[in-house]
Amino acid sequence: MDDTKNSSSETPAASIGGENGAAHSAPGGAALIAEKVKHLPDSPGVYRMYGAGGDLLYVGKARSLKKRVASYTKLAGHSNRIARMIASTVQMEFISTATETDALLLEANLIKRLKPRYNVLMRDDKSFPYILLTGDHDFPQVVKHRGGRSRPGDYYGPFASAGAVTATLNALQKAFLLRSCSDSVFENRTRPCLLFQIKRCSAPCTGEIDREAYAGLVTEARDFLRGRSRKTQQQLVELMERASAELDFERASIYRDRIRALTQIQQHQGINPQTVAEADVFAAWTEGGQTCVQVFFFRAGQNWGNRAYFPRHDKELSTEEVLDAFLAQFYEDRPPPRMVLLSHDVPGRALLAEALTIRAGRKVAVGVPRRGEKRELVNHAQLNAREALGRRLAESSSQRKILEGVAEAFGLEQPPGRIEVYDNSHISGSQAVGGMIVAGPEGFVKNQYRKFNIKGEEIEPGDDYAMMREVLTRRFTRLLKESEGKPADDAWPDLILIDGGAGQLKVALDVLGELGIDSVTAVGVAKGPERDAGRERFFMAGRADFMMEPRNPVLYYLQRLRDEAHRYAIGSHRARRSKAIGVNPLDDVPGVGPGRKRALLQHFGSARAVARAGLSDLESVEGISAKVARAVYDHFHGNPDGTP
């Protein structure tokens, strides 16, 4: 649910405290809040508190807007965090909702989208991967899926990582021989691919298996993914024994291999509970002012992996408060399971259960188990949370010392909170891509990485300086626009590293100077003679170029940053090049779909041969009408609109 759906129920108080109100001339803090309370309804809703300059401070929900907001008018009884927030408030906005459950869902949506300063923030918001068994083809495909569920089919998950999905998919292909190729590849196959040869696919594309038999494999795979693995395995054992009794040892060996694949999946799942078929297990551990929330996913009676989260929060918050805020954000855009098990009894547990039940359209139980296998699962998750947080605290201490060394090496006033590293990749100027990676106190921030497809038509092939100029200009022009010219938020880097020497550094300084940016330190990192690691030379404005001691930990760290930027830029370039190579010229011809494309390729042998063919040759292809032949001919001979 988002705020647009509730805009119709916004109270008059919202406009009084909104952007067009007179709050800018009114007093701030508790006095301003007291003015707002006079006009608020005694009904559920969501409120937003803003600071000077329009910065969003906090988003909160309430069963009664009037009573909840009135609590901020008291001068005593608040924690230091809340007192600071109240004192900084110069503006408020309100949205009424029909129920408290709607308020919870809207609050979670706004927090994830707007990221207020004083709220608990779930930082790793990457979507989870699923396994998709497609439902829009006669021969369903089994693939890894991430994102919206727009394609028809059955979705199984979530899995904690792409690696867990890949391992399960590999075993599923061995066990059920389902195709993984795309529909376009399927339509254009003329003989079985390698997967058929290594017994990972039944090759329905070339008729090696009929539709009925393939449907049987799909049913077995669906049963397995729904938790009926024992039934499926028993059926395979019976088929293997029957084939062996009939002396059909080749068929028996196929069933044997499928049984082994199923066993492999079950062994890799780790803990497989006997009494929990479908649940998410959340366990939190707080130490040193930080909290780790460990999430385990159980589906179909199997453990489908776990992931650790480290939400950003104020040190004054309790573990229960952090976990409570985290849960609402976690399920804001994810389908809940039938059961949610928690390590702590959070304040909003009943409200969360009600909201998840409404969202799922079925009952969702949210509980804190006290004994039995469910409690063992929670204890196991909490142990993992404790260990993960311990590792993170140790790494943070080491990382902090490294960043202090970076600040000393480059003359920064304080350790950098955000470092951006830039590199370009191309082959003689073709398919040029610029890459930007980001690092900070908590290591690489991969969801902030960016790639830039070099677009400048005036750039000479291989002109690295011009390419770097385009990348940096696009990056910082957009950053200025998004932050309204105020380089003060977390999106602004304290330090940028440019892969290259004095020339690349001059380009970076010119771009920053032209845009009026003087708060960012730029450093060029040139590779040593014969590209030897450890002999890098550093270039900075107003300072002679220099080298670091070969065994300096700061140098090792900078090498890691440079190598990560190089890896990312090369990977982006290869992906762009592969995409360009994989484009078939026939895909752009109007009226030519998969069937006609296959007919043309089979007749002429290649797209290039199709492009060189005469009109009469095209018309002679079986399945190609005179109209389609004319369209193909015109497309490749400079008459794409078909006019004479």
- 147-190: per-residue pLDDT in tens? 778 889 988 878 777 777 777 787 778 778 899 888 888 888 88
Is the pLDDT score of 208 beyond 80? Answer: yes
Which residues lie below 8 Å from residue 438, measured CB to CB, with a gap of 6+?
418, 419, 420, 421, 444, 445, 446, 448, 449, 493
Q: In what order do the strands lie in the sheet with 302-309?
A: 302-309, 290-299, 279-287, 339-342, 365-367
pLDDT at 225: 77
Q: Locate 133 and state its tokens.
A: 């068994």
Which helix (H) or strand (E) element contains residue 406? Answer: helix 372-410
- Residue 343 confidence (pLDDT) above 90: yes
Compute the average pLDDT of residues 446-452: 88
Per DSSP, 203 falls in state -
pLDDT at residue number 457? 64
pLDDT at 269 over 70: no
Query: pLDDT by residue (tens digit) across 361-403?
Result: 899 999 999 988 899 999 999 998 998 888 888 777 788 888 9
> Does residue 537 carry a pLDDT above 50?
yes
pLDDT bucket at 15, cuts 50 / 70 / 90? very low
pLDDT at 268: 47
Q: Is the pLDDT of residue 8 over 50?
A: no
Among 5-14, 194-203, 370-379, the range scoring the smallest mean pLDDT is 5-14
pTM for the model: 0.57
CA pair distance 162, 632, nearest whole angstrom: 41
Q: What number is the average pLDDT over the span 117-122?
A: 87
3-state secondary structure of 56: strand
pLDDT category at 29 given cuts 50, 70, 90 is: confident
Predicted pLDDT at 293: 94
- Mean pLDDT of all residues in 288-307: 85
Q: CB within 8 A of 307, min separation 6: which ones?
A: 124, 160, 161, 294, 295
Computed over every residue of the chain, the mean pLDDT equals 81
Is a pLDDT exceeding 90 seen at residue 623? no
Which stretch, 352-366, 441-455, 458-472, 532-546, has highest mean pLDDT?
A: 352-366
pLDDT for 22 beyond 50: no
Q: Which of 140-149, 234-243, 554-563 has the lowest mean pLDDT?
A: 234-243
pLDDT value of residue 498: 93
Beta strands in 252-359 (DSSP E): 279-287, 290-299, 302-309, 339-342
Pairing of strands 495-499, 521-526: parallel
Q: What pLDDT does residue 261 have?
A: 63
Question: CA-to-CA distance for 387 and 59, rounded, in angstroms?
Answer: 32
Question: Which DSSP string do the residues of 137-196 spell out, in sequence order?
Answer: SSS-BEEEE-S---SSEEEE---SSHHHHHHHHHHHHHHH--B-S-HHHHHH-SS--HHH
